[in-house]
Amino acid sequence: MATRRTRRTAPPPASPWRSRQGAGARTLKREAVIRMAARAFNQRGYHNTSLDDVARMLGVTKPTLYYYVHNKEDLLFECFRTGLKPIRAALREIRAQRAPARERLRQVLLQYAEAIASDYGGCMVRAEDLHLGTKLHAEVKRLKSEIDHGIRRLLRAGMADGSIARSDPKMTAFAIAGALNWIAHWYRENQALNAAEVARSFVALFERGLEPR
């Protein structure tokens, strides 16, 4: 008989402003600002969230936020960029590996899925559609293109080494990214599955679909 899984609810992060000051304190505080903003944008919506709201949630004053970001648009961009960090890191790390491309792609997609299921997922999938200004909008597009082309390269490499079934790399990359990005629309921390479990489930589906026949 199956047992019912306990839903998980992550506790609110401790405010670094209440802890001792020291080396790395500014970095910790900046990370806290970005993470809290991502949570607020997910819960309230970007347009319905002000810097005052973020400051209140952190227990600091609004002017304090300006030590870490220039404005709300910059804050959204930092949420987007923070979410992409593990995916970009995975793409860099697999370059030196000699494993079949399918295994390297798996590593990247696991990081992708976990990132989308994180606090930053909503910002990652919506940043391009919000008003970030010309410069930041162009940077969002550039970073998204970097991820897209990295996945396409792995698909082509897999088709060449026989570990991935032949298909149109562009369309396959779009299909994978579309499925993963949709996680941000429904996944919440109190789901029965945690982010890593969701990531493994999704990637297992892709692997079966990409397996050579």
How many domains does the chain contain in total? 1
pLDDT one-digit tens code per residue, 134-182: 899 999 999 999 999 999 999 999 999 999 999 999 999 999 999 999 8
Which residue is it, tokens 């970007």?
Answer: 46
Give the CA angle between residues 90, 94, 96 to the nearest 5°: 140
CATH of the domain at 122: 1.10.357.10
Any domain includes 58: no
Any domain includes 21: no
How far, in Å, CA of 174 to CA of 159, rounded?
17
Any domain includes 148: yes
Any domain includes 25: no
Give, in order, the Cα–Cα distances in Å from 45 to each of 71, 82, 96. Answer: 16, 18, 40
Any domain includes 149: yes
Give the CA angle between residues 191, 192, 198 to the nearest 5°: 80
Q: Provide block-wise average pLDDT over 10 residues at a time, the chain (213 residues).
A: 39 58 76 94 91 93 91 94 96 92 94 93 89 89 96 96 94 93 81 80 82 75
Any domain includes 9: no
Any domain includes 111: yes
Range of the domain at 101: 80-210
Any domain includes 197: yes
pLDDT one-digit tens code per residue, 189-199: 766 777 888 88
Which residue is it, tokens 């005052």?
Answer: 52
